[in-house]
Chain A
């Protein structure tokens, strides 16, 4: 008699095999992700938005199982709204003493810090680690610290880093990121860095592709950037070999011939 094993339902479920990254710069953070969601080899959604809003200046990038990360992001979003409703700004008249009125009060409370959001993500990922496969990068801007990026990989640890990459496509670009990243960049250089890294990851990883979505989060606003698939940065593509015109590129042909003989 076959019994349904809940844990096994995970294989073949909708998967966010992905490339995500977040980089901190002087005035804010840039978060970016590809847009492919796969169920096995079928691309279930080729224009996914993996950059999830959890608060006004806090976004998270999701990788791993789509359902797991959506569930966690929803719970943390709820938690941060709860947190905002209690955190009263300093200049507020005497709060109501009645319990229900306190709860229903929609004050524009202080925004939670990115550390609070990241810690909540981390607690959820760790307490449910036997049931989840979720890798999350939390990034944002807050008043206490300014910009910050937190990486929460599969086991549920919390790591604050100046830049973080995640997802299946990230393994192909660790070298590029290590070699290219420099501190003290401004907004445009950071956006360029994120765009190039994601383009490289998407060109090598089968589970990443589509378009590049980015958010630039600063104190004033969140700006969404979109790079369609035909405008992705192109790197070494190789050369066309068939139909090669030897008369046109005689020098190159000679060079190649010499190389072969030698």
Chain B
């Protein structure tokens, strides 16, 4: 018994500290959002569309609308209003769109509801979903949840009028199938493995509660569970930090402008961000440090860096600038390689070598041949050199006249679409926000687990964690837990 006390009394203080800190954080984020269970989802069709409708339902709807519009006043009920929509967390402007406020019970679900009609670009939609997900008391809807709520409030007739069958399909089956499709992949295998680990951990704690007194369930199972939970937490945290496709969309694609000195890299940056963010001069080696701007290119968030021209510099400051540029290139998701159109090597091998010196292997790249205005229309030689060799997508551009900008943006858009995937095709953005919400919930519960002193309460946190994961991988019932218990222990009363 003493051992148990020791094992579980580690952290009374830590728990309370964590709790009150969490409470404060929550209160800060809470702003005007009422507590309780409020759900949100994209309720327009999935896939790319001109306008996306994002809907919330629950007591927090009014507060969410106020937070996102930055306006203490709600619009008049059931009247569309044009508002700037910001992420209250970062104050970033996401979109200007139409919002509608439906106070309950005169709403689709009978609860307080809000609708945000925003531009259908993936960055906007996922930005709004992300902003909603960060509000306290809001969470992504589970399949069928809007309809269930409508039913509970006696509003099913309304949904019937809207074509219930389609709606249910969109809301449940489509999402479920998409979730299933996603579960086939690498990610699915990972989540399922976590699910199994957690099920086993929970089963062992449950066995310790239900059987340890009379049977051979020893206390050491608890330390094994502790270790498994800590490993799982570490893995989940690393996963949530990981910059894969979904994550690219969240923070933006890291695009780096690279090239020899004085080819117009800083001018390209200024052209793309439409302001003089970087100093430009005719002197080679003007840019010493990395200049970074955030951009929205074709709906994709991009963090664009301008770097020092790559050459063997003698000036120590410039040398440092070049080494920073190289480092930045190593971590780039996309490289904009800039060469001077007037002095570009015409031999394909030579050109290839020049590119290899700029772009790390296997990094997607767009080749920009700047100063096209100086060519005076003689592009024949260039065409010849680009035709025969396996070059990256290439465009002529004049930063001075702006000629070729459209073509550049088009090429960039294509590259970005490949990098990010189309986030709304198959709506992974919604699924992703559900997944990450549940993974965060799972991790929060696991953190609580470690701090519990009462084994019953600790098991409760594992149950909460398992339920969160169950939203992704499928739920686990009491019988499944018992199956593991009887598989792993000889319960012999």
Interaction A to B: no
Query: Which residues on A are within 8 Å of B, measured CB to CB?
Result: none
